[in-house]
Amino acid sequence: MTANEVIAVLGPVDETVIAEILKTGATAEELALAWTWIHADEALINQGRRYPSGRAAELIGILESMERDVEA
């Protein structure tokens, strides 16, 4: 995944966040899945989808931290 792919999924984000995401070795698809879980987890749970594991779960943690920092 490239920095441009991160921005394509998340929109404009801090370079530190981009670096942290790239460090995971995740794919753009895994990032999109993590973003979806952050913003529509109830819908996914209602569809019977399981919470992601591996790199997608790691990305969810990064995105949650990023959102907490924005809210603070």
pLDDT tens by residue, 45-54 = 777 778 888 9
Report how many domains make up the chain: 1
pLDDT of residue 72: 61
At residue 52, the pLDDT reads 84
pLDDT for 42: 73
**For position 71, what pLDDT does the model report?**
66
Domain carrying residue 43: 3-71
Q: Which positions of the chain have pLDDT values less than 50? A: none
Residue reference for tokens 């943690």 = 61
Backbone angles phi, psi at 37, to 5 degrees: -65, -35
CA dihedral 47, 53, 58, 62 (to 10 degrees): 10
